[in-house]
Structure 1
Amino acid sequence: MSGKVIGIGIVLVSLIFGAVVYYTQVYYYYEPVQATGRDDVLLTNMVTDAPEAILYDNFEAIDADSSPIRYRACFTTTLSLAMLTETYEPYEGAEPRNAPAWFTCFDAEAIAEDIEAGRALVFAGQRNIEYGIDRVVAIAEDGHGYVWEEINECGDKAYDGTPLGEDCPVKD
């Protein structure tokens, strides 16, 4: 009889622990980002190599302090892809990261399909927004845009212990 009680206790504690871990990962750490209305969406200009604000509307974003790559944002813009490609730096190899299911405007799988099919283009937003982390922006043909963060090559090296190359900025 006491074995059943201990077994049930272990299962209950495990279920409660699992629910707490799930809640903290999916809800607890994320906070909405308050839009400034001026510089929430930045793209790196090809001529100046500096990030600059673009025209946008309907901005919605979340972030978490628990990881440097949890930032996600959605917006709309009236700027054409043709104008954007002539002005702003493309970003190669970006893959959208999943967002919590409750942040419904950001569907990483659909964004990745649009990028793969050429219906959306990815641009450098801000390089090394935090050491080894780049903010990237994807904009679709229909004007919907998405922002997330990627670990860049220097970040990969820094996090896995590989010696940093000469191309990497000095780490503070």
Structure 2
Amino acid sequence: MMGRILIVALLITAVVAGGAIYYLQEYAYYEEVPASGTEDVRLTTREGEVVALPHTGFEGIDADSSPIRYRACFTVDAAQDLSGYEPYEAAEPLVGPRWFDCYDADAIGAALEEGSARALLSVENISYGIDRVVAIADDGRGWVWHQINRCGAEVFDGHPAPDGCPPVPEGVARQ
């Protein structure tokens, strides 16, 4: 009888812990990013200037718990000329919470691979080692996420910053 009680207690503890972990990963910490108008979506030109991109329908989320939890969706005119903006070669859309319906990392990644969407640099080093990346599909749908860049990847792994990287600011965590 005592063994059954112990097993039930362990199962209840596991279910509660699993539910808490799921909630913390999927819902907790995220807050809606209010649309601010023209500054919601920015791109870096080939000359290095960061400019606002005209858009509509902005939806965004972010969390203070990690610099790479930012996600956003928007729409631009499908005829928008994107040739003057800096491409982002190593774009890898990061998975967002399932409840943020407009953002599907798998679909965005597939669109980038098949060429029906383009990845562009929004802001390099929006925080040290983190770039803001924008992807825009041929139909005008757009998405934004934060991604660790090559400088961040090295520094966050405990290595010195590679050549060409900005100096590591005081307080940036090294593993």
TM-score (norm 1): 0.95
Q: Secondary structure at the match of 1:28?
A: coil
Q: Secondary structure at the match of 2:27?
A: helix
2:118 pairs with 1:106 = no
**Structure-2 separation of matches of 1:154 and 1:110:** 27
Matches within 5 A, 1:19-98: 19-47=19-47, 49-78=48-77, 80=79, 83-85=81-83, 87-98=84-95
Which residue in the other structure is 2:3 paired with?
Answer: 3
**Structure-2 separation of matches of 1:36 and 1:4:** 57
Instruction: Identify the structure with the greater helix proportion.
Output: 1
Which runs of 5 or more residues in structure 1 are unaligned? none
Q: Secondary structure at the match of 2:123?
A: strand
Q: Count residues in correspondence.
A: 169
Which residue in the other structure is 1:162 paired with?
Answer: 159
Q: Kindly provide the amino acid, as one letter, of the partner of residue 54 in structure 1.
A: L
Q: Is the 8 A contact 1:55 1:79 kept in 2?
A: no
**Structure-2 separation of matches of 1:116 and 1:70:** 23
Q: Kindly provide the amino acid, as one letter, of the partner of residue 65 in structure 1.
A: D
**Structure-1 separation of matches of 2:159 and 2:72:** 31
Q: Secondary structure at the match of 1:149?
A: strand
Question: How big is the alpha-carbon RMSD for the aligned residues of Structure 1 and Structure 2?
Answer: 1.0
How far apart are residue 74 of structure 1 and its match? 0.3
Which residue in the other structure is 2:141 paired with?
Answer: 144
**Structure-1 separation of matches of 2:42 and 2:78:** 13
How far apart are residue 79 of structure 1 and its match? 5.3
Deviations 1:117-165 (A, max 9, x none): 1100000000000000000000000000000011000000111112212
**Structure-1 separation of matches of 2:163 and 2:89:** 20
How far apart are residue 66 of structure 1 and its match? 1.1
The one of 121, 130, 133 equivalent to 2:130 is 133
How far apart are residue 103 of structure 1 and its match? 0.4
2:13 pairs with 1:13 = yes
